[in-house]
Amino acid sequence: MNDEEVAATMDHCITTLKDGIGSTTLEQLKYLGGGEVLAPELLELTPNYVERAIPTEFLERCLLDADGGIKKGSKRVIVTGMGGCGKTQLVRKFIDDYEDSFASVFFIDGSSKETIKRDITEHVRALGGAHSQKSFEECMKFLSLPVQGGERLLVIDNVDDPNINISAFFPKWRRGSVIITSRNGSHGQLSPLSHLQLDVMSLNESIDLLIRGSGGIQLSAQHSEAASKVAEELGYLPIALVQAASYIYRTECSADTYISLLRTSRQRVLSDPATSQIDMRYTTAFAAFDASYSILPSKARLALHLLSFFHRQRFPIDCIGFDAVNGFSSDIRYLDRGEESERGRECLKEIFYSDGMWDPAELEYIISSLRSHSLITVMPTEITRLLQMHSLVHEWARLRVPGTEILRFQDAAIRFSRSGLVTSMGDDARE
C-alpha cells in the first residue's frame, strides 16, 4: 500500500472507532479506562449565533494573555443578566473558540446544589480508572490538583437560585478558570473586576440575528429598516428576537406584517414559542421571566405587579419611604378619598409594611430580590435611586397580575401617585 492508501485506511479506522465509542479528551487518555463513564453533554451552540464583540472581548481579556494563551493563576469570570439575554450562548461560543487551550472543560448545570454535585461527579468519573468511583468530595479534591501541561475550565451555568452558595463549588486550585452564568447580579461580588453584566444586543447584532434566524428570506439586507423596527419593538432581547425570527420563518410573513401583529395580537404573538431550536432552555421571553417569578418572595411579586402600573423608566425608589412614613395618606389635595383610595392604601401597606409598620429594610429586601433576578435595574442619582425595567419585563409583569387583582393594584398606583412624588399609569388603565 502507498502512503495515501495507508492514510485513508487509518482515517477510516479512526472514524469507525469514534462513531462506535465516541470521542474522548486528552485528560481521559491519561487514565486507564477513560470514557467508560459518560460525562454530561455540552450544550450545542446555536447555528444562528451572532458574534457579540464587546462581551466576547471582555471574556478574552479576563482569561487570555496578550498572546492568546490562557493566563496563569486562578481566574473567575461572572456573567450575569436578565433571562434570555444570551449568557449561556456567549460562554458556549467562548468554549468553541478556545476549548483546545484547556486540558478539559467541565460544563455544569447550576440550577440546584444537586445538579452541580451530580455533574461535577460525573465529569470526574468519566476520566475513568481510579476516578470512576470517586465521591463528590473526592472529586472536588481532585479538581484542586494541578494538571500537567495545562489547566481546566469549569463552567457552572444558570446559577439562578439565590440560596446556592456557589463559592463552595469552586476548586481550590492555583491554576484554573471558572465561569459562572446567572441572573443574580449579586454574584458579581465574587469577582468584581471580572464581572460581566450582559445587556441586550446592539441594533446591528439584533438585525443580524433576525436575518439569520428567519433564513434571510423575508429579512434580507434590503429589509434591514423593517428588521430594526422589529428589534426596537422587542427591546433588542436575544430570546425575543429568536422568537420573532422563528415566527417569520414558519409563517413566511414580512417584518412589517410581524410588527402589525405585535400591535394587534401582541400577547398571542409573544406567547408563540420559538420552534426547531437547539438546546434552548426557554422558547419564549415570557417563559424565561416566569422562571424567575416562580421563586420570587411573595412581597417582591406584589411589588412587581404594582410597578407594572407605573412607567417602566425612572421610578424614584426612595420616594416610597416619604409617603410610607405617613401611612400612604399624604394626599392633602384630595378630600374625598373614598373606597378606592383606601383599598389602594391597604395594598401599599401590604407590600411595603412589616408587622403593620413601615420598615425601610423591607423595601431594600424587595428591591434586592427583584435585582437578584435581573427583573429591574437601579440607577443611582444625586437625589434618589431610579428603578428601570426592560419593556418586555414591564409588559409581562402587567400580564401576570391576576384578573381579580387588577383594580386593587390600579388603586394602589393611583393612591401613591397622588402623593405628587411619581406619576401613575393607573388612571389611563381605568379609561
Which residues, including other chains, have CB under 8 Å from residue 1's CB and lie 6 or more apart? 9
Task: Clarify whether residues 247 and 375 are in a common domain.
Answer: no
**Amino acid 279: pLDDT:** 61
Task: Clarify whether residues 50 and 157 are in a common domain.
Answer: yes
**Amino acid 427: pLDDT:** 43
> Domain boundary at 266, 289, 312, which?
289
User: How far apart are the C-alpha atoms of 95 and 25, rounded to whole Å?
Assistant: 14
Phi, psi of 216 (to 5 degrees): 70, 15
User: How far apart are the C-alpha atoms of 310 and 293, rounded to whole Å?
Assistant: 19
Task: Clarify whether residues 178 and 218 are in a common domain.
Answer: no
Query: What's the burial of 252, exposed, middle or buried (CB within 10 Å: 0-12/13-18/19+)?
Result: exposed
CB atoms within 10 A of CB 305: 22
Task: Clarify whether residues 35 and 151 are in a common domain.
Answer: yes
Residue with cell 437625589: 383
User: How far apart are the C-alpha atoms of 316 and 336, rounded to whole Å?
Assistant: 26
Number of folded domains in the chain?
A: 3
Cell numbers that stand for 100 in this block: 483546545
Task: List the alpha helices (DSSP H) in 308-425.
Answer: 319-324, 338-352, 360-372, 391-399, 406-417
Which residues, including other chains, have CB under 8 Å from residue 169's CB and lie 6 or more apart? 108, 116, 120, 140, 156
Question: Quick check: is 420 in a domain?
Answer: yes
**Cα of 202 vs its chain's centroid, Å:** 17
**Amino acid 301: pLDDT:** 96
Which residues, including other chains, have CB under 8 Å from residue 7's CB and lie 6 or more apart? none
Task: Clarify whether residues 306 and 373 are in a common domain.
Answer: yes
**Amino acid 12: pLDDT:** 60
In sequence order, the β-bridge partners of residue 150 are 147
199, 185 contact by CB (below 8 A): no
Structural domain boundaries enclosing 258: 203-289
Look at residues 249, 246, 248 and name the one whose alpha carbon lies nearest to residue 257.
248
Measured at the alpha carbon of residue 159, what is the angle toward residues 318 and 118, in degrees to the nearest 5?
Answer: 155
> Per residue of the chain (431 residues), what is the pLDDT tens digit?
556 665 566 666 655 544 444 444 555 444 444 445 677 888 888 888 999 999 999 999 999 998 889 999 999 999 999 999 999 999 999 999 999 999 999 999 999 999 999 999 999 999 888 888 999 999 999 999 998 878 999 999 999 998 899 999 999 999 999 999 999 999 999 999 999 999 999 999 999 999 888 876 555 556 778 889 999 999 999 999 999 988 988 888 888 899 999 989 988 988 888 876 666 677 889 999 999 998 899 999 999 999 999 999 989 998 888 888 878 876 555 545 678 888 988 999 999 999 989 999 999 999 999 999 999 999 988 888 999 999 999 999 999 999 999 999 999 998 888 765 555 554 444 43
Task: Clarify whether residues 346 and 369 are in a common domain.
Answer: yes
User: How far apart are the C-alpha atoms of 115 and 122, rounded to whole Å?
Assistant: 10
> Domain boundary at 289, 322, 351, which?
289
Radius of gyration of the chain (CA): 26
Q: How far, in Å, are 138, 191, 325, 356 from residue 135 at the CA level?
A: 5, 29, 55, 49
Q: Whole-prediction pTM value?
A: 0.82
Which residues, including other chains, have CB under 8 Å from residue 50's CB and lie 6 or more apart? 201, 205, 208, 209, 212
Task: Clarify whether residues 127 and 41 are in a common domain.
Answer: yes
Question: Quick check: is 85 in a domain?
Answer: yes
Question: Quick check: is 8 in a domain?
Answer: no
The DSSP call for residue 340 is: H
Residue type, 371: R
Question: Quick check: is 9 in a domain?
Answer: no
Q: How far, in Å, are 71, 98, 146, 149, 178 from residue 175 at the CA level?
A: 9, 17, 7, 11, 10
DSSP 155-168: EEE----TT--GGG
Question: Quick check: is 7 in a domain?
Answer: no
DSSP 261-315: HHHHSHHHHHTSPP-S-SS-S-SSHHHHHHHHHTTS-HHHHHHHHHHTTB-SS-E
**Amino acid 102: pLDDT:** 94
The domain spanning residue 105 has which CATH number?
3.40.50.300
In sequence order, the β-bridge partners of residue 321 are none
Task: Clarify whether residues 189 and 211 are in a common domain.
Answer: no
Question: Quick check: is 127 in a domain?
Answer: yes
Q: How far apart are the first and last CA of the chain?
A: 87
CB atoms within 10 A of CB 387: 22
